[in-house]
Each structure stands twice: as C-alpha cells, then as structure tokens.
Structure 1
Amino acid sequence: MKVESFFSAAPHKRVSEDSIVLNEKINVYGVFDGATPLIPFKDENGMNGAYLASNIFKDYFFRLYRSTLSLVEGIMAANRMLREHMEKYKVNQAKYENLWSTCAAIIKIEKDGKIAYAQLGDCMIIAEYQDGTIKALTRDTVKDISYRAKAWREEQRKHGVKIPDEVYYQDRTQQLIFNRSLANKEYGYTVANGKKEVFNFIQHGQVNIGEIKTLLLMTDGLFHPKYSIEETFKKIQTIGLDVYAVELGQYEKSNNLRSDDKTGVMISFCEEVRSL
C-alpha cells in the first residue's frame, strides 16, 4: 500500500485550519477541514475554533480511536469531545454561528477485506475501481448551500414565518450566519459541530478492497474551479498531490481567486492487498 499526502496552509493564513491523520497502526486515514469562524475567538495559544475543531478530530483518530469502533461511532465520540471543549471555553452553543465545526473524510481498512468510510461536509472521498471507473463515494453537502438556504427562506415565508427580506442576506456576514443555522438540517449541510444531530447526517458505507485500485481523500481547498471531481482525481493521479497543489495555487493567484488550505491523502493498493 502506497500512501501519498499533502498538507499546506493558505497563503493568507498563519496556520492551516485543515488537519490530517495518517494512523498506520490501525489503518485509519482522514482529512478534516475546520469551518472559518464567524465570531472571533482565540484560545490561550491564539488558535481559533476552526483550527481547534479539526485538530480535536485529528487527535482523536490518531490517539484515542479504538479500531473496534465503527467510524460513525468514532465521529460521534470526537464530536462529544468537541462539545466538551466548547463548554470548557464557555462558548454559547445555542447560537450556531458560535459553534466550532469541522468537515471530515475518513477511511478505515478493515481486516475482513473491507474499506469503511465516513464523511461530513465538503471533504470528499473518491475511488478508482479495478475496471478504471472513477467514482465519488461521498456527496459534497456544502455545495450550493446559499441557494438552498434562500429556497428554504422562501418556503418559510410562504408558511407565514417572519424572516427578513432577501436584501438583508446580501450582506455576506448575515448570509453566512444563516447558512450556519442550517447545519445538519434538511435544507442545509453536514458538519461536526458538537450537536448530537450530526449522527443522522453522516455519510458512511463500505467497499470491498479487492474492487479498489486507488482512494483519494481531500479537503475543498484542492477542488479545481475548472475540473470536475473525477477530472481532479485524474490530474492528481497523473502528476501527484504536491505538484497538483502547487499548480492549483499558482492558478488561483494568477486568476485572483481565493486560495484555501489544501490537504489530501492518496492511497494506492498493491495486488497483495487487493487480494485480501
């Protein structure tokens, strides 16, 4: 099994709000993407809620996760730790915009020849099958969230719910605050934010290791504005994560595009592993 990884902070950030876990002892690999906070908060080390959320998950799956647990159980355990950390710092968790939160994509290679996976948000898991088919195992639930939030507001107004006119949500901050209120709800998106509701929205499943040639786990910072997720996979497979990330960063800079933290793990399975 060959494991390639990449981890880099965006140019405008002091530290990355992403995190990565490469737990070779129990064959657990994951990427986590903390959601940039809307409310200012720094701990005693100067770290914000996004950094803390993603690193709480990283630390859990590297140090505390037991291989006898399912990935869903692991996510819920890490989510409880996240809630406890917010309680420690007296974060008002009644307001969704205050919550520390993180997206996640995790896989575990089981001893029975299965690969378990679990996902939240816009971290993605893409698989290349033995026949050459490239398929996303997960769905990006953050995509089009602002469009769906607007549709939800329109639906609520029809039912007599008093919600400000859309001109109010032209303010970017107000739009983002409202979007955060839809975390782990029908019209919203999925994310670990300390709330118990996340349990109902974790995407998870299994694939047979014998069917899989390559797996890619990535945060949205590696998404290319001109490529589909399958095209992105092919590009990374051809030139490698490091070169792809550098080229993407150069493309973003030359086109005045916002650059985000970039984290990815590509796992290629040799014939001996696939025959388990």
Structure 2
Amino acid sequence: MIIESLFKASPHKRVSEDSIVLNGKINVYGVFDGATPLVPFKDEKGMNGAYVASNLFKDYFLQLYRSHLTLVEGVVAANKMLRERMQKYKVNQEKYEELWSTCAAMIKVEEEGKISYVQLGDCMIIAEYQNGTIKALTRDTVKDISYRAKAWREELRKQGVKLPDEKYFQDRTHQLIFNRSLANKEYGYTVANGKEEVVNFIQHGQVTTSEIKRLLLITDGLFYPKCSMEETFKRIQTIGLEVYSIELERYEKKNNLRSDDKSGIMISLCDEERST
C-alpha cells in the first residue's frame, strides 16, 4: 500500500478538532471530525469536547483496539469510553447539545483479502475500482440535516407537540441545538456521542482488495463546494492532498467561505504484478 495523508487545522483555530489514525501494525486507518461544541467546556489541557471526542477515538484505534474485534465493535467500545469520559467531567448527557461527539470514517485491511469499513456522520470514504469506476462507499448523513429538521418540526406540530415557530429557528444557535437532538435517529444524522443507540446507525461494509485500486477517507473540510464526491476524488488523485487543500483554501478565502479543519488519507493498493 502507498499511503498519503493530510492533517491541517483551520486557519481560524488554535488546534484542529479533526484527528487521524495511521495504524500500520494492524492496517487500520481513519479520520475523525469532532463536532464543534454548542456549550463552553475546557479540560485541564484547555481542549474542548470536539477535540476530546475525536482524539479519544484516534487514541483508541491507535493503542487499545485489537485486530480480533470488528471495526463496528471498535466504534462501540470507543463510544463507551467517550460516554465514561463525559461522566468523569459531569456532562449532562440528557441534553444532546452538551454531548461531545465525533464523525468517523475508517477502513481495516483484513487478512483474507477483504477491506472492512465503517462511517458516521459526514466523514466520507470514496473508492476507485480496478475498472476505473469511482464510487462513494458511504452516505453523508449530515447533508440537508437542517431541511430534514424543519420537516420533522412540522410533523411534530401536526402531532400536537408545542414548538416555537420557525422564526425562532432562524437563529443559528437555536437551529443547531435542535439539529443535535436528532443524533442517531431515523430522520436525523449519525455521530458517536456516547449514546448506546449509535450501534444501530453505523454504516459498515466490506470490499475485496482485488477489486479496489484506491480508497480516499476525508473529513468534510476537504469537500470542494458544488463538487460531487467523485469529482473531489479525481481532483485529489490528480494533484495530491496537500496541493488540493491549498487550492481549496484559496477558493474559500476568495469566496468568503468558512474554512474548516482538513484531514484525509489516500490509500493506493497494488499487488506485486501491478507494482512491477
């Protein structure tokens, strides 16, 4: 395998809320994107809940994860550790807006010629097959969440639930608090936030090493505006993660767009025949 990686904090942040794991000993690779907190919290090192969540997952899969576990079992174990960490800091876990959470995209190269993958939220895994086809293996569940949240509020009102009118939710903070309440629900989005129900919403699957040429794992900070995942993959494959990230930051600055943390891993698979 040839592995290229990128880990870059947003220009307006002191530290990245993303994290990245490159565990070559057991062939586990992944990117994590902590969700920026809606309530203030700093641990003894001055880090917020997003940083703690994404780095807890990174540390687990770098140090504690064992290869006899599936990736899904690993995510469940790390999620339990996140719940216990929040308990330690007395986070009110009944309020979804106070939960520390992280999205994730991971792959594991298995011994029997299989590649397992798991995903949560808006981190993405895109594959290039040997026949040249480029396809996203995962679905971005955060996409259009505000639209779905509005539709769900309308449904709740029909059921007689009293909610503020939509003018109230035009306030960004109010909107985000409601969106967070939809974590790991059928009409919401997926995220590791310490809640046990995450196990029911982990996207997971397998592909064979013989059919895959390249795999790309990225956080949403590397999404190029108005480009599909397939188009994004082609750009990165052509110029590399570092140059791509520089061009994207220039585009964001030119168009007054918010620049997010950027993390990615490009894995190129090659057998002995293809590498000679």
Whichever residue aligns with residue 146 of structure 1, its letter is: S
Whichever residue aligns with residue 194 of structure 2, its letter is: G
Distance 2:159 2:81 in 1: 38
Distance 1:225 1:272 in 2: 38
Distance 1:203 1:250 in 2: 33
Number of aligned pairs?
Answer: 275
Whichever residue aligns with residue 220 of structure 1, its letter is: D
Q: Per-residue displacement from partner, 1:75-108 (whole Å, max 9, x unpaired)?
A: 0000000001000001011100000000000000
CA contact (8 A) 1:211 1:274 kept: no
Whichever residue aligns with residue 27 of structure 2, its letter is: N
Q: Which residue of 2 aligns with 1:74?
A: 74
Per the TM alignment, residue 226 of structure 1 is displaced from its structure 2 partner at its CA by 2.7
Distance 1:113 1:48 in 2: 39
CA contact (8 A) 1:216 1:267 kept: yes
Q: Per-residue displacement from partner, 1:154-210 (whole Å, max 9, x unpaired)?
A: 011111111111111011000000000000001100000000000000000000110
Distance 1:42 1:162 in 2: 34
Q: Which residue of 1 aligns with 2:169?
A: 169
TM-score normalised over the length of structure 1:
0.98
Identity percentage over the alignment? 80
Q: Which residue of 2 aligns with 1:111?
A: 111
Q: Which residue of 2 aligns with 1:203?
A: 203
Q: Which residue of 2 aligns with 1:6?
A: 6
Distance 1:147 1:226 in 2: 18
Q: Which residue of 2 aligns with 1:229?
A: 229
Q: Which residue of 1 aligns with 2:44?
A: 44
1:54-65 map, 5 Å: 54-65=54-65
Q: Which residue of 2 aligns with 1:156?
A: 156
Q: Which residue of 2 aligns with 1:189?
A: 189
Distance 1:214 1:186 in 2: 31
TM-score normalised over the length of structure 2:
0.98
Q: Which residue of 2 aligns with 1:245?
A: 245
Per the TM alignment, residue 273 of structure 1 is displaced from its structure 2 partner at its CA by 9.0
Q: Which residue of 2 aligns with 1:85?
A: 85
Q: Per-residue displacement from partner, 1:109-163 (whole Å, max 9, x unpaired)?
A: 0000000000000000000000000000000000000000000000111111111
Unaligned runs of 5+ in 1: none
Q: Which residue of 1 aligns with 2:32?
A: 32
User: Counterpart of 2:167 in 1: which secondary structure?
Assistant: helix
User: Counterpart of 1:128 in 2: which secondary structure?
Assistant: strand
Task: Report runs of 4+ in structure 1 exceeding 2 Å deviation.
Answer: 271-275
Q: Per-residue displacement from partner, 1:203-262 (whole Å, max 9, x unpaired)?
A: 000001100000000000000003111000000000000000011001101110000000
